[in-house]
Structure 1
Amino acid sequence: MTSYMQQPQSIGYWLGDRDEDIVQTIAQHYVGNNPAIPFQFRAFHRGGALQTEDGLYDLNFAARFPDAPRGSMAYAACLVWSDSERSIDLRLACYGPVELYMNDAIAYRSNTVDEVKRNHTVSVPAVFQAGWNTLFVKVRNTAAGFGCKLGAEEAKVRILHVQMPFHERNGEAGWLFSAPVQKDRFSECAPDLFGSEDVAGLDWSPKAAWPSDAPVSPFERLFGVASGKKGYAWSRLLVKTTREANVGFRGLSSGPFSLWIDGRRIVGAEQSGNFSVSVTLRSGSYDVLVESTSGEDNWNWVCEAAGEGGVEWEAPVSVKGSDDVWFYLGPFASDTVYEPSELQRLNTIFPSAGESLYWRLDRPDTWIRPYYENAYLSNKWTTSGATNFARWDYPLGVTMYGLLQAGRLLGRQDLIDYVLSHIKICTDYYEYALWDCERYGFPSVNQQLVLMKMLDNCGSFGSALLEASTELEDEGFNRVANRISSFIRDTLERREDGAFYRICAGEYAENTMWADDLYMSTPFMRRYALRYGDDSFLRDAARQFLLYKEYLFMPEERIMSHVYDFKYGTATGVPWGRGNGWVVFSLSELLEALPQNDPDRPALLAFYNELCSGYLALQGEDGRWHQVINDPTSYEESSCTAMFVYAFSRGVAFGWLEHSDKYAEAALRGWHGLTNEAVDRHGNVYGVCSGSRYSFTTEYYKEELRTVTNDNHGIGIVMLAGVEVSRMRIALSGIVPTIEGSLA
């Protein structure tokens, strides 16, 4: 038996069958360890290294320096922060000779095949240490090419954001690269990337400062002279007085000019010239928005403030890599009208004369850019110690669903609000992320949602979004839900019989069908059908279960194979625990929504009973199920156990199961096993298998897929199991059998 703690450490030892208290402990632990930290904003120079559609940073020196002599050298450098040790595989494609140094040690040196074979990439294993890490690239110019492309494998999942080196660029996003030089300046070792940019006398780009002959006015530097066009500037004013004080604003404009303080218009000048106004303000911080119109010959603008006790300009939002206190937006047509509340936000793209505009800084070609920089995934799908807040991925979909249901069970609006805020930051930045991807090559936020190519990218989190939409009516929720529905209906790969599968051309999973995908699709389809009255989605969801049964069902044991591999024309025959859990979990959700007179309901109900009887026969001695559910030598696994408990409890409560007393007892045994062997008194969840690939051998699942503490594949599911056990007890009105040896 796999045990992760001594009995007095388990939550079951202390709380027994107090299901709601157990669910509350797990929920509070998750929220406490994943605070609502939003996206990070950084300065980003569009003239720097952009990313390709597969997430590689394109360090193409031949395109930047077409006249560079053959044999010349150039360098690129960046910093990478990691909250804890993190292993990922880097992916590198050479244009010519390349050396890659990581933390001052050589990590890769190209060979002749790498240098001349077009479209060839190599995998470079990398371990990022906790704290700062350095990447330094050395390239040489040849007739074949000059530079390389470098990023993370599976970049939309294993995100690799980089920051500029040297203290002068502290906090700015992107790579620095040098102009070519004739002789290698770093033949012995990489430079000190935490020191000064003046290292070795190199000319580094992109440039941070305006040239000496640039116009004086920020509007003119950024937008040129555009007679009659409008631009906006946004800042915050910190008033330091301890009481009310008169704050004076004065300045000049080359055209019509308006100034708002916290949305209240203070100045409205229809002509160019000077302005001066005094306003009574209390101590505090105030949004200041300026609308300026270009004159015929210049676009000058000045705004100064002074007051008793002192005032200070500050950036409206912290932007790392910049000391600017004003953000700029434009140019717009003269008849453009916006309310301050519409403009003073960083999740919005603004249309103007056929293009889209976003806030930028008073630096050459530099924009504000949001980044997801919370918990990152490693090769094993584990995350660092940072918060998971604001990330869109499928394990967090079921985590959000679990928290939402926990909040409802417990009457905890704060838990519900936490879920809504996590989902809403993703949907609020969806339109921005689409624009960001188009503009910079690869999105800095919402990577999986924007680069939607498979069900993993959308279905699970989309299902949680639809469930959350019953708590909050939000147009952003609707927009994203409709995008996912279009993908499933119109784009997702299907077999000739209509079954979902994965083409994944050229990848290890090419031409496969995964049991997991019933969870990645049908809960969303079921909720979308109910939310928007689209019965076709409910019918399609029912059909998918019957089709998947034809490919994956193992009739002798009444369980499911994890994967069907169409390359070999056979199922793998390995019944992975969580894969089976996804199936019966999702089937129970569909049965709840499927009308009693639906033509497929009898077949689906029979399938549900077949599966449950198969799982019941394979339950382990302590109530948990095994990683490979028909192999008792494999370890007891928490996420599949929780899903079987969930499905059994719902089947008992809804009256779907024959001989329901056996399943009620099995559900309680499973819950007892989890709470006494896999959840500690602090709410930590143990024994959850890491994210998987697939194999035809059980050894892969038993030996390579090891357990992770507090893995997002399991936390939400365990909460959901507790919610349904509690509801089952209520449904049975106290006649539920007790488990011998429990503390109930």
Structure 2
Amino acid sequence: MKKLLTASFFALIIGGMTSCSVQKQSAANKVELPNKKEVLEVSRRVNQYFMNKWPDTKKDIVGKKVWPSNLWTRAVYYEGLMALYTIDPKKEYYDYAMSWANNHKWDLQRGTYTRNADHQACGQTYLDLYEIDGRKHPERIKNVKAAMDSMIATPKVDDWWWIDALQMSMPIFTKLGRITGEQKYFDKNYEMYAYTKYKHGGNGLYNQADKIWWRDKSFVPPYKEPNGEDCYWSRGNGWVVAALAKTLHDTPKSDPHYQEYLQDYKDLLAALLPIQREDGFWNVSLHDPNNFGGKEMTGTALFVYGMAYGVNNGLIDRETYLPVLVKAWNAIAKDSVQPNGFLGWVQGTGKEPKDGQPLSVSKEPDFEDYGLGCLLLAGSEVYKLK
């Protein structure tokens, strides 16, 4: 009798697990993938709007002050353009990126030896263009390589004190590591990442309990949102998602830190699942939906990018994440992308939920370029879904 009861118990458990798995599979099967032609049309439309508005790739960006056009906001756009080029290899995209790089002499904002991640971000596109042309033009990566080599030459590892920096600089180290085959780039990348994760702000900017990141030490407890929760900024965590996806793409699986990157990536994506809005977006404040609550495109697009990348590369569970990312992409395409290619619900530059508020479908942010880059990154991975 005891054996029969034990067998029955395990049969019930296995049956329940199988039923759960079948339900998840069934739910994923019911998800209608975005039409590839429509994804491409949306990506082309928003990109064309921007290229028409900014035909001169060297023109300074004028706002509260004047910025050169190789600053981080524009660099994120070109990251997105390079992603679009992988699925839609139009010569005009290549020419536009080449014009930008040539106009800035393949140099980083504020010179070759800057340690600031924002000033280095343009190097990601320089590296992409170097590879697109078969690695035949070493002058294209001379300056960005010199900058990263100068960082490696010192023991300093605390440069990335804000989490946005991870997306701006980590992919440069890992791209160089893959291109050159030199381990030093992967090693320095981890040392700096680990300092941000475990040291900055006292005990690191990564909350091990919630699996989400504080933007910088200003938001580490005792700082609280109006509802008493920690302040987790949507786009800031979006930058981390993008940084980890790109790092995983270029870091060998044999690297001693690959599994830690992978676990952090999985944990952060899992933490996003229960806090997605009903309309498909995420709020600017991830744990306080009432603190400047509303649609926000940039953080949402970066989460879509990270989830779609994980599904496409078998890193995360398709049945769990496909419905979530498709819902988010559809929301962006429906509610953010306008008929002329303008992007609504884009939070302006800043570091926390209150910056750039209030948002609307028609409000033009202080910079239009990085929001487009986020969308193009997302669209390039959504297009690849099978």
Which of 329, 336, 343 is the aligned partner of 1:678? 336
Determine if the alignment matches structure 1 residue 426 to structure 2 residue 104.
yes
Determine if the alignment matches structure 1 residue 377 to structure 2 residue 36.
no
Tell me which residue corresponds to 2:69.
391
Which of 520, 539, 558 is the aligned partner of 2:211? 558
TM-score of the aligned structures, taking structure 2 as reference length: 0.78
Tell me which residue corresponds to 2:190.
542
Determine if the alignment matches structure 1 residue 651 to structure 2 residue 310.
yes
Determine if the alignment matches structure 1 residue 449 to structure 2 residue 111.
yes
Which of 24, 27, 45 is the aligned partner of 1:25? 45
**1:164-175 equivalent positions in 2, closer than 5 A:** none
Deviations 1:358-384 (A, max 9, x none): xxxxxxxxxxxxxxx5332326x9x9x
The letter of the residue matching 2:206 is F
Deviations 1:221-240 (A, max 9, x none): xxxxxxxxxxxxxxxxxxxx
Tell me which residue corresponds to 1:52.
none
Tell me which residue corresponds to 1:486.
149
Question: Does the aligned pair in 2 maintain the 1:552–1:571 contact within 8 Å?
Answer: no
Partner Cα separation in structure 1 for residue 101 and residue 268 of structure 2:
33
**1:569-580 equivalent positions in 2, closer than 5 A:** 573-580=230-237
Question: Does the aligned pair in 1 maintain the 2:72–2:118 contact within 8 Å?
Answer: yes
Q: Secondary structure at the match of 2:370?
A: coil
Question: Does the aligned pair in 2 maintain the 1:649–1:724 contact within 8 Å?
Answer: yes
Deviation at 1:549, TM superposition (A): 3.0
Partner Cα separation in structure 1 for residue 99 and residue 53 of structure 2:
16
Tell me which residue corresponds to 2:13.
none
Tell me which residue corresponds to 2:9.
none
Deviation at 1:533, TM superposition (A): 2.3
Partner Cα separation in structure 1 for residue 248 and residue 125 of structure 2:
18
Q: Secondary structure at the match of 2:105?
A: helix
Question: Does the aligned pair in 2 maintain the 1:636–1:687 contact within 8 Å?
Answer: yes
Partner Cα separation in structure 2 for residue 456 and residue 613 of structure 1:
28
The letter of the residue matching 1:542 is Y
TM-score of the aligned structures, taking structure 1 as reference length: 0.42
- Which sections of structure 1, spanning at least 5 residues, go unmatched? 1-14, 39-372, 384-389, 431-445, 502-512, 733-744
Determine if the alignment matches structure 1 residue 665 to structure 2 residue 284.
no
* CA distance 1:569–1:611, shift in 2 (3 Å): closer
* CA distance 1:31–1:641, shift in 2 (3 Å): same
Deviation at 1:597, TM superposition (A): 2.1
Partner Cα separation in structure 2 for residue 16 and residue 482 of structure 1:
37
* CA distance 1:37–1:664, shift in 2 (3 Å): closer
Tell me which residue corresponds to 2:127.
466
Deviation at 1:703, TM superposition (A): 4.7
Partner Cα separation in structure 2 for residue 477 and residue 601 of structure 1:
28
The letter of the residue matching 1:538 is F
Deviation at 1:615, TM superposition (A): 1.1
Which of 507, 511, 527 is the aligned partner of 2:175? 527
Question: Does the aligned pair in 2 maintain the 1:678–1:686 contact within 8 Å?
Answer: yes
Q: Secondary structure at the match of 2:217?
A: strand
Tell me which residue corresponds to 1:611.
268
Question: Does the aligned pair in 2 maintain the 1:393–1:456 contact within 8 Å?
Answer: yes
Determine if the alignment matches structure 1 residue 517 to structure 2 residue 159.
no
Tell me which residue corresponds to 1:368.
none
Which of 69, 87, 98 is the aligned partner of 1:409? 87
Deviation at 1:447, TM superposition (A): 5.6
Tell me which residue corresponds to 1:713.
370
Q: Secondary structure at the match of 2:319?
A: helix
| The structure with more helix, counted as a fraction of residues | 2
Partner Cα separation in structure 2 for residue 30 and residue 615 of structure 1:
30
Tell me which residue corresponds to 1:690.
348
Which of 278, 283, 295 is the aligned partner of 1:636? 295
Question: Does the aligned pair in 2 maintain the 1:27–1:406 contact within 8 Å?
Answer: no
* CA distance 1:451–1:482, shift in 2 (3 Å): closer
Deviation at 1:559, TM superposition (A): 1.3
Q: Secondary structure at the match of 1:500?
A: coil
* CA distance 1:478–1:606, shift in 2 (3 Å): closer
Q: Secondary structure at the match of 1:527?
A: helix
Q: Secondary structure at the match of 2:369?
A: coil
* CA distance 1:636–1:470, shift in 2 (3 Å): same
| The structure with more strand, counted as a fraction of residues | 1
**1:100-119 equivalent positions in 2, closer than 5 A:** none
Question: Does the aligned pair in 1 maintain the 2:162–2:215 contact within 8 Å?
Answer: yes
Partner Cα separation in structure 2 for residue 631 and residue 376 of structure 1:
34
